[in-house]
Amino acid sequence: MTKAENEITWKEINIGATVHEPGNASQYKTGDWRSNVPVVDFSKCIKCALCYIFCPEGCITKNDDGFFEIDMYYCKGCGICAEECPTDSIIMKEEKE
């Protein structure tokens, strides 16, 4: 884990304030930005992969059965997957606490 920015001392700043842990932004949770949540109905899914291709977060992955699953740690609930799904397998519902 990357040390939190409010704990880093000046001596711990990398040379030139560079970052040496590629992709470490993945530690940052964006899922709590969400007000709507996508709900997937696999029975309608034709595995076309459009949701995966168009997801701005890159948080949709293919599971062992070939269906596409959404990682709620990152999903911001934008609804593009639901909008672009050709079979309406994904619908957006209000996020419940």
Binding to another protein (CB under 8 A) within 27-56 occurs at 27-30, 33-34, 48-50, 52-56
84 binds another protein (CB under 8 A): yes
26 binds another protein (CB under 8 A): yes
Side-chain-facing half-sphere of 76: CA atoms under 13 Å: 9
Tell me whether residue 15 or residue 94 sits nearer to another protein (CB atom). Answer: 15
DSSP state of 52: H
Alpha-carbon distance of 90 to 74, in angstroms, equals: 17
Cβ pair 22, 40 in contact under 8 A: no
Q: Provide the sign of the torsion angle of the four alpha carbons 75, 57, 49, 91, taken in this order.
A: positive
Tell me whether residue 7 or residue 97 sits nearer to another protein (CB atom). Answer: 7
Residue 84 is encoded by which pair of tokens? 């672009």
15 binds another protein (CB under 8 A): yes
Shortest distance (Å) from residue 93 CB to another protein = 13
Tell me whether residue 21 or residue 41 sits nearer to another protein (CB atom). Answer: 21
